[in-house]
């Protein structure tokens, strides 16, 4: 008769009661906390990327100003007739200095390359922020599902 009592007890243990779910609830709550920590870390990364974008933008604006100055210097070099050259049948004439033009073109290219680089760095940073925001959205969805599981166990 004792074995029947033991069997009855074990069959009752097969049906979990709400109060027996405390371990599972604790595990789920731990998962929620871990995901919330991941969100915080991701938000910190976004803040860091935004600071980089801000710094890149300041530098970019400086390079854009330098590019504009270099373009003006190139136009001036093309328009300034400072080199005296003898042209057969015409005589002495003043022409733009090809070396000054080449140097000015080189400066324009240099600053254009810097502007392009910083614009690409800003694009890359914005793409990284988009990925991080997508990660936060995914984590929030996972937290929502975990919280529903927790609610169903309480």
Structure tokens at 6: 């033991």
Assess whether pLDDT exceeds 90 at residue 41: yes
| Phi, psi for residue 81 in degrees, rounded to 5 | -100, 85
| Euclidean distance between CA atoms 143 and 113, whole angstroms | 45
Give the predicted TM-score (pTM) of the model.
0.76
| Burial class (CB within 10 angstroms; exposed 0-12, middle 13-18, buried 19+) of 125 | buried
Look at residue 106 in the predicted model and tell me its pLDDT. 98
Structure tokens at 108: 């324009």
Average pLDDT, the chain: 91
Q: How far apart are the first and last CA of the chain?
A: 36
Q: What is the pLDDT of residues 54-91, one digit of tens each?
A: 999 999 999 999 999 999 999 999 999 999 999 999 99
Assess whether pLDDT exceeds 70 at residue 46: yes
| Euclidean distance between CA atoms 70 and 75, whole angstroms | 9
The per-residue b/e assignment along 55-92, b for 16 or more CB within 10 angstroms, e otherwise, is ebeebbeebbebbeebbebbeebeeeeeeeeeeeeeee
E strand segments, 26-127: 81-87, 91-96
């Amino acid at each position: 008769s004792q074995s029947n009592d033991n069997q009855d007890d074990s069959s009752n243990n097969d049906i979990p009661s709400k109060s027996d779910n405390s371990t599972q609830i604790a595990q789920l709550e731990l998962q929620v906390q871990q995901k919330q920590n991941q969100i915080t870390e991701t938000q910190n990364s976004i803040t860091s990327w935004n600071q980089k974008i801000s710094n890149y933008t300041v530098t970019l604006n400086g390079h854009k100003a330098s590019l504009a100055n270099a373009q003006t210097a190139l136009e001036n070099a093309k328009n300034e007739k400072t080199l005296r050259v003898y042209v057969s049948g015409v005589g002495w004439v003043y022409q733009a200095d090809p070396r000054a033009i080449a140097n000015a073109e080189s400066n324009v290219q240099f600053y254009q390359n810097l502007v392009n680089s910083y614009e690409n760095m800003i694009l890359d940073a914005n793409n990284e922020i988009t990925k991080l925001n997508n990660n936060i959205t995914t984590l929030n969805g996972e937290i929502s599902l975990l919280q529903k599981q927790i609610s169903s166990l309480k």
